Amino acid sequence: MIVSESKALTLCALEMASITRKGSLMNSTSTSFMDKLQLFMEEKILPAATKFSDQRHMASIRDGMTLLIPLTIIGGIAIVLAIPPVPATLEGTNFFFQFLLNWKAVATANITTLLIPYNLTIGIISIYVVAGISYRLAKSYNLDAINNMVSALFVFLAVAAYPANDGVFSTSQLGATSMFTAMIIALVVVEINRFFIEKKISIKMPDSVPPNVSAPFNVLIPVIFNIVFFIVLNTICFNVVGGGLPTLVYKVFQPFISVAGSLPSILVINFLMTTFWFFGIHGANMVSVVTSPITTAALALNADAYARGVQLPAIYAGAVNSVFGNWITYTAMLIVMLMFAKSAQMKSVAKVATAPTMFNINEPMIFGIPTVLNVFTYIPLIICSILNFSITYFLMQANIIGRFFVTLPFTVPDPLQAFLATMDWKTIPLWFALLVMDCFIVFPFLQTYDKQLLKNERKD
């Protein structure tokens, strides 16, 4: 679902929840704990969270990173085709094994060609990062987006892809390790361009010159300033830390990436997302500003490690938190509702939500049950998110199951996505085992809620 649609659904759910709360306050002499908590969320937390998520620079990072999804999908598919997960000891004892061996033989013979999409997507992902973010930020200021994007690309390439003594450009710093440098340059270059344009420090062409011709000259002076500033800064970094600006930024952000990818941090993120959803706030949108750069960079690092045949470094990468998180729990809820629900509301929601839930579209469940202000769904969602990802995390940490290095469309069914994103068949039985566990966890909560709905329906 695109961001605008998600926000619309969030606002609708929040408005419904607010109406419910206000009605309960009018009909009761005392304010319950839940009313107070929701009021606190609406008056204190929601404005702050929305302001942070919609802050111009944060929104530009979020929306700019969204543009990378098709490229990471293409790059991920290419690397799997080029380097199939076929053990060296495999023998063609049956048709399937022989197919795998033939695939590996063809891939080995054509690996250079097959890796072209990977090398031009995930291999140089930072180029697309700086392009996407600078474009979005310039658009938010109503600046000429194309020229600002080109300016940011020019500056970034001057810093990260400078030619060696033989005149050959290096691509070693255009991948995942330079993503945070790309973000910084994209934001700073556009802000400097905006400052120069607002202060009218630019080349003014006559009014008779067409806008598409005069626009590049508006950013000419700020581009000159940007290129000189960043080249000087890059040179200083070389002299001080022995590496350029991308090296310095990566060293600064590396501890933050490690902490953000730790199990406690991920569980906190899951708790916040589920809690936001409980109060009708789109949890994924709230945290994606922070999580998307981390999971995308980790995915690219894993893909690079897979291409080099070494251990994949990151657990918190790609869509792992969704595939092995509450996507499983919503499927478990659907199964329980289909098998045991007796109320008309639960039965109707289950029928409508069956097809969407199979393709990870959970909005019919979220707004149909609903999960907003519903402790009977909030508690099991929290419990399952903790158990699901903790189990997955420890298994990945112990190298029992593979780690994510491929991005797929979010509508790919969960078990298939778990396998294709890791190319490890063991992720499929793990997913189904977690599904069974979640069914047992959610059953008593949904059964109690179903009895309440059935009782109310009989009164009516």
Range with the largest mean pLDDT of 2-16, 34-48, 54-68: 54-68
Residue 4 is predicted with a pLDDT of 43
Tell me the pLDDT tens digit for each residue of 141-163: 998 888 899 999 999 998 988 76
For a pLDDT cut of 90, what percent of the chain falls above it? 32
Other C-beta atoms closer than 10 Å to the C-beta of 199 total 9
pLDDT mean across residues, the chain: 83
Tell me the pLDDT tens digit for each residue of 42-75: 666 667 767 777 788 888 888 888 888 888 889 8
In degrees, rounded to 5, the angle at the alpha carbon of residue 44 between the alpha carbons of residues 43 and 46 is 80
First to last CA, the chain: 36
Confidence of residue 316 (pLDDT cuts 50, 70, 90): very high
Q: Name the least confident of 199-208, 224-233, 318-327.
A: 199-208
Confidence of residue 394 (pLDDT cuts 50, 70, 90): very high
Residue 30 is predicted with a pLDDT of 39
Residue 403 is predicted with a pLDDT of 94
Sorted by sequence, the CB contacts under 8 Å of residue 288 that are 6+ apart come out as 62
What is the average per-residue pLDDT within 257-281?
A: 84
Confidence of residue 182 (pLDDT cuts 50, 70, 90): very high
Residue 207 is predicted with a pLDDT of 65
Confidence of residue 460 (pLDDT cuts 50, 70, 90): low
What is the average per-residue pLDDT within 403-407?
A: 91
Q: Would you say 281 and 268 are in contact if contact means Cβ atoms under 8 Å apart? A: no
Closest CA to 151 of 98, 222, 211: 222
Range with the largest mean pLDDT of 58-67, 208-217, 387-396: 387-396
Residue 288 is predicted with a pLDDT of 78
Higher pLDDT, 37 or 306: 306
Annotate the chain with three-state secondary structure.
Answer: CCHHHHHHHHHHHHHHHHHHHHHHHHCCCCCCHHHHHHHHHHHHHHHHHHHHHHCHHHHHHHHHHHCCHHHHHHHHHHHHHHCCCCCCCCCCCCHHHHHHHHHHHHHHHCHHHHCHHHHCCHHHHHHHHHHHHHHHHHHHCCCCHHHHHHHHHHHHHHHHCCECCCCCECCCCCCHHHHHHHHHHHHHHHHHHHHHHHCCCCCCCCCCCCHHHHHHHHCHHHHHHHHHHHHHHHHHHHHHHCCCHHHHHHHHHHHHHHHHCCHHHHHHHHHHHHHHHHCCCCHHHHHHHHHHHHHHHHHHHHHHHHHHCCCCCCCCCCCHHHHCCHHHHHHHHHHHHHHHCCCHHHHHHHHHHHHHHHCCCCHHHHHHCCCCCCHHHHHHHHHHHHHHHHHHHHHHHCCCCCCCCCCCCCCCCHHHHHHHHHCCCCHHHHHHHHHHHHHHHHHHHHHHHHHHHHHHHHHC
- Residue 311, class by beta-carbon neighbours within 10 Å (0-12 exposed, 13-18 middle, 19+ buried)? exposed
